[in-house]
Structure 1
Amino acid sequence: MVSQAKKTDYTQNLILCIEELKTNRDCFNKQIEEISNEKLEIEKELERLNRELDKVNEGLSKKIEAKSGFDKAIEETESAYKKILETSQTLLHVLKREKMSLKSEQD
């Protein structure tokens, strides 16, 4: 049979182990709370960054659309200018031919 002193010793050891477990649990509870708070802060910051990203993407889309408008205007203007040059060359050629024709008629 176990003596009363040993029972008391077992009881004290058991109480100490339980207290140590509770201390460890409390430490983990505190860490969990700190990590949970940090997680909430990160989630809030992530939401803010996502809103900011949406604004940047919207602005970027508008700039890209505006650039496309410039590209189209430049392309149309260059094409029209090329046609004007071609027409001018044709006109100059016709005028030179007419001048030669008129000059030969005068002679």
Structure 2
Amino acid sequence: MPGLCVRLQLRGHLRKLTDRQEQRMTQQGAVLQGYNNELVKCIEDLCMQKEELNKQIQQAEEEKSRLQHEIQTLNEQLEGVCENLAQKVASRNELDKILAETEAAYMKILDSSRTLLSVLKKEVGSLKRPPELKSNVT
């Protein structure tokens, strides 16, 4: 029965191999479970980071919207101020033109008054002198 002994030896050998494989698989299972736990923790951390980032994005979008509204309001105010300013500048330019024309007309009046005064003085001066008599001296 030498064949039986060999078989029994093989079975014992196989049991040892199977025990080692089980032990190795148990160790590998423990390592795999550790990896799985770390992976789940990393995924949870990433989800928390995503939630925080979503909050920050929402806040930034709200701030952007508020600023855009504020810019629109300021642009409307600026447009009104620019229109008002343009009207005032046009009015000032018209007043400058009127003043220049008025000053020119006033200068003409002054010049005419001076001329009139000069003529009038000559006329009055000639009235005060006695008329010259022509003598008939021969």
> Once superposed, what is the RMSD of the aligned Cα atoms?
1.5
Give the aligned partner of residue 46 of structure 1. 71
- Structure 1 residue 69 corresponds to structure 2 residue 94: yes
Normalised TM-score (structure 2): 0.72
Give the aligned partner of residue 85 of structure 2. 60
Q: Which of residues 103, 112, 123 in structure 2 aligns to 1:78?
A: 103
Higher helix share goes to which structure? 1
Q: Which of residues 53, 56, 67 in structure 2 aligns to 1:28?
A: 53
Q: Which has the larger radius of gyration?
A: 2
Question: What is the CA distance between 1:97 and its match in structure 2?
Answer: 1.4
2: CA distance between counterparts of 1:87 and 1:10?
A: 111
Normalised TM-score (structure 1): 0.92
2: CA distance between counterparts of 1:99 and 1:64?
A: 51
- Structure 1 residue 106 corresponds to structure 2 residue 128: no
> Identity of counterpart residues, as a percentage?
39
| Equivalent residue letter for 1:77 | T
2: CA distance between counterparts of 1:106 and 1:96?
A: 17
| SS of equivalent to 1:106 | coil
2: CA distance between counterparts of 1:68 and 1:3?
A: 93
Question: What is the CA distance between 1:105 and its match in structure 2?
Answer: 4.7
Q: Which of residues 121, 126, 136 in structure 2 aligns to 1:96?
A: 121
Unpaired segments of 5 or more residues in structure 2?
Answer: 1-23, 133-138
Question: What is the CA distance between 1:103 and its match in structure 2?
Answer: 2.7
| SS of equivalent to 1:78 | helix
- Structure 1 residue 12 corresponds to structure 2 residue 33: no
